[in-house]
Structure 1
């Protein structure tokens, strides 16, 4: 079972839900796909070990063979190559590694080299039997999706894999949730929360992924989110209250299921509801 935890905006409690769900279930994988700022391990404190670098290819131009025909620049949709009157310039950080430029070069002047844009780390907690994989995008690198895709190669489909997705609705989110069995959208009961929830719902509907909503900090704001879910027949899987005890634990970096065992039962019940939804095909 692959479950993505996503949100239309940052700060809704997406990581809180992902970490607490993993701990409540045990015997699970947790993949932190928020690779620009991974923070699951702030709440877990695992000793992480580097597994591999994330490499992406980019073109190298052999100036002795290049005839400055400009075909490489013409085919590049990302402006990673500029054909000038006397030279060809390559901008590696704009390159998506498609290899199209080398295919169209009539002179065989383009070869592909590799560079690292990030890394994958792994940690294990034997008491909860949780395996954490964390992707980290290098500072100044613009493309998170290659790191996310390589991170997801570590998913073990014999167990439960919980994906902590990046916030928003852009390419990194789609890369995180596209191959999932179910998506949990975490929101907050505010006008901003509702606005971004609507955007996130549109994305998962387009991808054809069954989904439900978790309302965090319930009791603050208004009932706009609940009314929207009711009108759209979207299941509200859980309501996490605006609670001082939960907030204090969060501020200390402590997942609240560790100190409030009744919430472990609630997260396990939510997981059972998700399994029932996936098996029945409801919500697709």
Structure 2
């Protein structure tokens, strides 16, 4: 079972929640926030495997090319452009769809591979941890995300998603069975939570909300969830102690008080989400 932990905005504590739930549920951890993965800071796994992620891109054989420009006309992503003297390739815009090779009347287009990122895997006290790392300067994270999720283990996988509701998150949600939305009790948190809720509902998967940095139980997030009939799995209190723990790269569940909180959250999740 794949459970996505996502948030409408960055900085809500999504990775903090993800890594601590992994320990409580004895689940595998998958960091799919490939542009800025930071879950390994807390779990500290010993890396045992690395695999490059490659994508294809077109090359035009100048000796065969008749400068008809059909490849550039067919490309929906503007990765090819026809000038007076040449066909110019913007390789990082290419989605590898293959249409330019199909439409070329003289067979002047062929494909080669380039590396866009890497998948890393390791163990943290028996916990299987995986993450994707997008290479600096690469604009498209989806190929790394798809490769990462293909390698999900049996059992429960906690998937630490990218923040927001971008195409990265959409691609992750296509591979999950349930979701937990992490938010904070601010107007910004509520605004972006609504976007995340709308997205998850489109996928028709069971979900609930986890409130981070909660000051009191009478707040705009709980009111919204009550009105929308959304389950609140639980809340992590606003606390200097919490900030001190995770700022040192430590796990909250190492503290008995917060371990109890995450156990309660996991129990509420089990009511909504069938582990089998």
Q: Same fold (TM over 0.5)?
A: yes
Kept in 1, the 8 Å contact 2:234–2:268? The answer is: no
Aligned to 2:4: 4
Aligned to 1:181: 177
Q: For 1:67 and 1:190, locate their aligned partners in 2 and report how far apart those are by CA, in whole Å.
A: 59
Aligned to 1:31: 30
Secondary structure of residue in 2 paired with 1:48: strand
Query: Is 1:264 the counterpart of 2:264 in the alignment?
Result: no
Aligned to 1:143: 140
What is the root-mean-square deviation of aligned Cα atoms in Å?
Answer: 1.7
Secondary structure of residue in 1 paired with 2:273: helix
* 1:211, distance to aligned residue in structure 2 (A): 1.0
Q: For 1:75 and 1:273, locate their aligned partners in 2 and report how far apart those are by CA, in whole Å.
A: 51
1:13-72 residue CA offsets vs partner (Å, 9 max, x unmatched): 00001000001122x210101111110011112222442101010001011111111111
1:145-169 residue CA offsets vs partner (Å, 9 max, x unmatched): 110110111101x211000000011
Secondary structure of residue in 1 paired with 2:168: helix
Secondary structure of residue in 2 paired with 1:17: helix
TM norm structure 1: 0.92
Query: Is 1:134 the counterpart of 2:131 in the alignment?
Result: yes
Give matches, 1:160-239, under 5 Å. Answer: 160-219=156-215, 223-239=219-235
Compared CA separation, residues 155 and 23, structure 1 to 2 (3 A): same
1:168-214 residue CA offsets vs partner (Å, 9 max, x unmatched): 11011111222211111000000000000011111111122221100
Q: For 1:188 and 1:220, locate their aligned partners in 2 and report how far apart those are by CA, in whole Å.
A: 12
Q: For 1:202 and 1:102, locate their aligned partners in 2 and report how far apart those are by CA, in whole Å.
A: 38
Query: Is 1:17 the counterpart of 2:31 in the alignment?
Result: no
Secondary structure of residue in 1 paired with 2:209: strand
Kept in 2, the 8 Å contact 1:124–1:130? The answer is: yes
* 1:111, distance to aligned residue in structure 2 (A): 0.5
User: Which shows bigger deviation, 269-278 or 138-147?
Assistant: 269-278
Q: For 1:230 and 1:221, locate their aligned partners in 2 and report how far apart those are by CA, in whole Å.
A: 12
Aligned to 1:273: 268
Gapped regions of structure 2 (runs ≥ 5): none
Kept in 1, the 8 Å contact 2:4–2:180? The answer is: yes
Q: For 2:60 and 2:268, locate their aligned partners in 1 and report how far apart those are by CA, in whole Å.
A: 55
Secondary structure of residue in 2 paired with 1:239: strand
Compared CA separation, residues 36 and 68, structure 1 to 2 (3 A): same
Q: For 2:96 and 2:217, locate their aligned partners in 1 and report how far apart those are by CA, in whole Å.
A: 45
